Structure formats: C-alpha cells, structure tokens
Amino acid sequence: MTTPTNPQEYVLRDKLIQQLATIYQGIELEQSYEDIAQSLLDIMELSSTSEIQKPYTNHWSEKDIILITYGDSIIKDEQPPLQTLKTFLDATIADTINSVHILPFFPYSSDDGFAVIDYSSVNESLGTWQDIEDISRDYHLMSDLVINHCSSRSAWFDNFVKGEGQGSDYFFTALPDADLSEVVRPRTSPLLKEVETGNGKKFVWCTFSHDQVDFDFRNPEVLKAFTSIIKQYLDAGVKIFRLDAIAFLWKVPGTTSINLPQTHEAVRLLRTLIESAEEHAIIITETNIPNTQNLTYFGNANEAHGIYNFSLPPLLLNTLLTGSCLYLKRWLMCMPPSQDGTMYFNFLASHDGIGLRPAEGLLDDSEINTLVRTVENFGGKISWRTSDAGEQKAYEMNISLYDAMQGTVEGKDEWNFERFICAHAIMFALEGIPGVYIHSLLGTQNDYQKLANTHHNRSINRHRWDEDELATALADNSLHHAKVLNTLKSLLNIRINQPAFHPNATQFTLHLGLQLFGFWRQSRDRKQSIFCVSNITNQPLQLPLAELNLIITESWIELISNTVISELTEEITLEPYQTVWIANNVALK
C-alpha cells in the first residue's frame, strides 16, 4: 500500500483499506482488506485511484430548509400518495423549502417504516421509484438508511431462519448467558429473541423490538449489501442520507454496545463512499443520545456532515413552558461552533416524540418530571425505558408540537399560537439547518383516533391528512392551520435571504436575563449582523436596545415586522412570545 505525502492525496482504495483495518481489527475474515475495498469500489462504480474529497467543504447555505414527512402524510383517493405529496410540495412550499425528507418509503412490517422488509423497493401503497425520482429532480431528497436492523419478515431474515442463502449470516446473535448487563438501549423489551433456525437455536439481538432484528456488521458481506443499497439510492436522486439508529451499529457483549469505536469508523467509511460517488451528497446521523455523546459523531469533520440537534426540542419546550431560558442558555453557550464541512440539523418535532435522553445532564430530574407532567396534562403520552439501575425512566414525550404549546407549567392559556411560532422563530435563526415536520408546518394536533387504533404512543403525532380535508382546514379562517402555515413560511422566506443565517455563520449568546432569550449571528463575510431576541414569557417585556450594542453608523431593521429601528438607545416592547430579528445590510424577499 502506498503512503502518500499529503493526506488529501490518498487514493480512494488506500483510504478504504485503512478504514476497513480499523473496523475489523482482531476479527478473522475470509477476505483481505484489499479485496473488500475493491468490492466496495466496484459496487459504487468508483476508480481505485480516485482522489479523496476535501474536508471542511460546506454543501449548504442559508437557503436550505428540510421538510420532514411521511410519503403518505397527505392522501387522495385513487392517487399514489407520493404523487399527492409532490402536488402539495409544488403548490405550497416550493417557493420556500428546497429539501424534503421522506421517511422510510419501503415495504415494512412495523414501526411506521423502520422495520424494512425490502430496501430495494418502494412501498406499493405509496408509489414507485419514478415518483421518488420525480421529487428528487425538484428538491434535495433526504432518505433514511435504516442500517442497524431490518424486519423479521425480510427475505434476509427468512434465509437466516432457513440457515442458507443471502442473509443467513447477516444477523447478530449472542448467548443468553453472555454479559449483557451494560447494554444501553431505548426499549424495555427483552434484548434477545429466540429463533429456531436451520443451524439450530439462535438468540438474535433486537435493540428496538423483536420485529426489528439487528445486523452483524462483523460480517463484511453486510457492509457490501448496504453499499449496494446506497448506490441504488444515489442513482434514484437521494442526496442526503439519514443514518437511522447508527449509534447501536456495532455490538460487543460486556460493553454498552453504543457509540463503539467501530461504529464511528463505519460512519467515516460510509462518508468516504458516499461523497466519493456524489460530491454534494451528505450524511446526517440520527443519534438520540445525551448531548456530549451526540457531538462525537462530527469526528474531526470526517464523520457525519450533520448531526440531529436532539437537545434542542426538550430544552426549548422547557424554556417556553417555564418562562425561563436558564437551561437553554447554558446549553447554547457550551455548544461548540460547527466546523466548516459540518452542521447542526435543528428540529423541534418529528415523526418520533420529544426525546428526553438528550436532556440528561442538561435538565435536572425535577425539571424533567415537571415537563413530563405538563405534557401529560396537555394530552400527551410518555414512552419509557429501563435505566442502568433497572428503573423506569421517561424516554420521550409523544405529543403534537402545537398541542405541547397549549400553555405553561401553570396550565393552559390563550397563547398557544404565539408560543408555537416563537419556538420556530428561535429555531429558524439558530446556527444550523432547520428541519420542519409537516405536522408543525400545518399546525396538526394530537391524533387520538390513530393512537386508539394502533396503541402506539408515537401515532399521536403521525396524522394522515386527506387532501380535501386539508384544503378545507387551510381555507377556514376560524382554524389556526392556515395562519401557522403562512406565518412559518413568512419567517422562512426572511431567513433564506439573510447571509447571517448561514448554517455556519458566527453565533454568540446574549445576556438579557432569563425572560428574554437572545443570540447574535454574523455572516461569514462579517457584513451582516442579526440580533435575535424572544420574549419567552406570557407577559410584555421591555428590550433595551442599548443592551444589543447596535453600531450607530449602520442602518437597522426589524426583519419580521419590516420596521426601521431609528432610535438605538430606546426600549421596545416585546409582547408575549414575540420574537425580533434586528439586522443591518438587509435583503428582504
């Protein structure tokens, strides 16, 4: 193997060999690292002498917004839902949002898509690969790579049970008497599933459920299989890969089996393959774990391009329900700026609940307990996990975000809409790329009927809109849906025209007390500054502009109201949950 003088001159094959050696160190393999690397290159149709993509390159800007949706979040009689979704995207958000994350659109057996039966097919109930490609031509398409596990009804697992064919050696097994006491997982079900196979009784590792059987990446054939899947998705137009539950990828009995070094190296290898095949393709890791662990998936700008900013939803919800930004402010001040070539993926709601593990160490137990009780009072449900000490602890809160904002810890009030918009105004302005769940964009409320039908807590925030029903709701001025949609779009249309809102633009936290939450953004060329301040209480508050140090020789505009700031030493009144974006060098759409 050649040794380059400059790391950026590594030929691709050499880098893959090094990464494979790190992943499979100590494991006896039937193939050499060189042969495995060549197989990966062949699958991806890459040259072994290709140059490595340069790190620290940003493939994004302030114009990037990602809509998160299921393929069938909106349905219409006698039309494939993916076509209905495309119609909605084109008619409603194309002028504002340029990217879409379609949650797993493959055949599945449970977990609303995350127990994949066949990675190579589009679920017939949603549409076809042509429908996926139609969307990918007009929007940056983000797809899940459900890489930790698949459905127990998949052909691969059928072959495992039979003991022959592709998949027969793809799944991780352990003996019941193995030391599994340290294993960290988000579920309370038994970890091992007993299965009678053609090769005798086996105990299959199931991190999430017994219908979601975990892969064994100690077998390089599993890596090859997923490389083929990645190539197919790239060919279909996927540009953003969401690595689902990636933290659990590598398992070793006697350890926590989460965030292991081999998992991190596997992310680096996947990045190498993906960005070598498509220069502008990126990966985002979905790691619903404590904040300090989550940050490690940036590596040194050589692992994930983006990480889900999982601590933001519970901390921002806590801020708005308590009227104090103490914990949110502490967290933001400690967060490292993302290096060039990396970014935070910010979100407030998704198809899952509001996770509480990412709040561990940031909110104390009493704060979390108060948050849980408040969400329950607003009609939410709580999902639980078993702690290391064997205790039942709240794992996530299941509720639509609009309903989570019905009031404060004191109870419901009349500020639901304003509080909800305030949360998004804060998120849209933060360092990173915003992800907006379709049910937040539409102000969807708790779906108790779906919850009753499925008996799964997460169903409460996975409503399926009939297209005609949605059109009626958006046209009814007595309902909040159109007001939510139009207000969020207005904020986003401002955002995408401000260079200070670039995902990697400078950010500093402001010190304005605990009832005003603020931060400062500065564009990368230092020509534009934006001061973002929100009243996070249900009472009017005064903002002394002198506290912001607005430069007197500049012209300042409050972007949201499009109001000129003429007196830089005056106080302005912020109504309950009002946000201001005070900027110079303004570009309004």
Specify the 3-state DSSP secondary structure of 536.
coil
Q: pLDDT over 70 for what percent of the chain? A: 97
Tracing tokens 């930790």 back to the chain, one arrives at 148
Residue 524 maps to a domain: yes
Average pLDDT for the chain? 95
Residue 458 maps to a domain: no
Lowest mean pLDDT: which of 37-46, 198-207, 321-330, 389-398? 389-398
Sign of CA dihedral 334, 337, 342, 346: positive
Is residue 352 scored above 50 in pLDDT? yes
CATH code at 547? 2.60.40.1180
**Confidence label for 587 from pLDDT (cuts 50, 70 and 90):** low
244 labelled catalytic? yes
397 and 375 in contact (C-beta within 8 Å)? yes
Is residue 387 scored above 80 in pLDDT? no
Residue 555 maps to a domain: yes
> Mean pLDDT over residues 437-452, rounded?
97
What b/e sequence results for 452-481 when a residue is b if at least 16 CB atoms lie within 10 Å of its CB, and e otherwise?
Answer: eeeebbbbbbbbebebeebeebbeeeeebb
Residue 517 maps to a domain: yes
Q: Give the pTM.
A: 0.95
- What kind and span of H or E run contains 269? helix 261-277
Going from the C-alpha of 438 to that of each of 98, 321, 360, 470, 517, the distances in angstroms are: 14, 23, 27, 12, 26
Helical H segments across 71-125, by residue range: 81-88
Distance, CA of 5 to chain centre: 37
Residue 96 maps to a domain: no
Residue 520 maps to a domain: yes
Domain limits for position 518: 505-583
Q: How many domains does the chain have?
A: 1
Give percent helix, percent strand, percent coil of the chain, each to the nearest 5. Answer: 35, 20, 45
| Most distant CA pair in the chain, distance | 80
Q: What is the pLDDT of residue 589?
A: 45
> Mean pLDDT over residues 357-370, rounded?
93
Residue 255 maps to a domain: no
Which one of 244, 352, 403, 447 is the catalytic residue?
Answer: 244
- Burial (0-12, 13-18, 19+ Cβ within 10 Å), 254: exposed
Residue 196 maps to a domain: no
Q: What is the pLDDT of residue 268?
A: 98
Q: What is the pLDDT of residue 8?
A: 45
Q: What is the pLDDT of residue 2?
A: 41
DSSP for 115-172, please give it: SBS-TTS--TTT--HHHHHHHHHHSEEEEEEE-SEEETTSHHHHHHHHT-STTTT-B-
